[in-house]
Amino acid sequence: MKKPSPTEPRPRVSGAFILALSLALATAACVKPKPLPTYGEIPEFQLTAQTGQPFDSKSLDGHVWVADFIYTTCTGPCPMMTTRMRQLQNSTAEIPDVLLVSITVDPKHDTPPVLAEYAAHFKQDPARWFFLTGPAATLNDLGVHAFKLNSVDGSLTHSTRFVLIDRKRQIRGFYTYGEDGFMPQLMHDVRQLEQERS
């Protein structure tokens, strides 16, 4: 292949091409991400936190938050789900407006002191991550009708999904523990919602 000599004119990139490329890059930078879908709204609720203090869901309003259902004596997916929540807590340390909520499906056993011990084991930040219990009927109503995940009926069966909720208590995503890439997708969507200010 013949190399151009120093005296031969080199091919020129047209000004029109550079302009078109610049416009394309500028347009791509301004494209907003596709809004996340909405799957319903979480009603207001009152439960009890691991501290033994009443927990009012109004304290979550104005925050992006992630919820799951677990129980402390679970030898199945719960420990790994809670580990993932801790990873989420650590990954969102720079955006402290993001909160986390873990709700028990075993209120008979998971009293506030039991939940507090469990939370400490997983290095919970008590300012951002809440472990909640309450009357079985209330938990069941939340699990079935609000979060659309599972019943709380004493069977201890529960969903392995995480739920992403926006500042207006709207469900914006479900993420199944164990699926490939679920944590990066959840983190991506958390950050996207955090940037939504409307």
114: CATH: 3.40.30.10
The more confidently predicted of residues 178 and 121 is 121
Rg of the chain's alpha carbons, rounded to an integer?
Answer: 24
Give me the mean pLDDT over the 80-100 stretch: 94
Does 133 fall in a domain?
Answer: yes
In a domain, 7, yes or no: no
Whether residue 16 lies inside any domain: the answer is no
Examine residue 140 and state whether it is found in any structural domain, yes or no.
yes
Predicted pLDDT at 20: 60
At residue 195, the pLDDT reads: 86
Question: Would you say residue 85 lies in a domain?
Answer: yes
- Dig out the tokens for 120 from the structure: 């400490």
For residue 132, is it within any domain? yes
**53 inside domain:** yes
Residues 6+ apart with CB under 8 A from 30: none
**146 within domain boundaries:** yes
Query: What residue has token string 């609000």?
Result: 146
Half-sphere exposure at residue 156, Cβ-oriented, CA atoms within 13 angstroms: 13
Q: Domain residues for 148?
A: 46-195
Per residue in 26-78, pLDDT tens? 554 455 678 899 999 999 999 999 999 999 999 999 999 999 999 999 999 99
Domain count of the fold of the chain: 1
| pTM: predicted TM-score of the whole model, two decimal places | 0.82
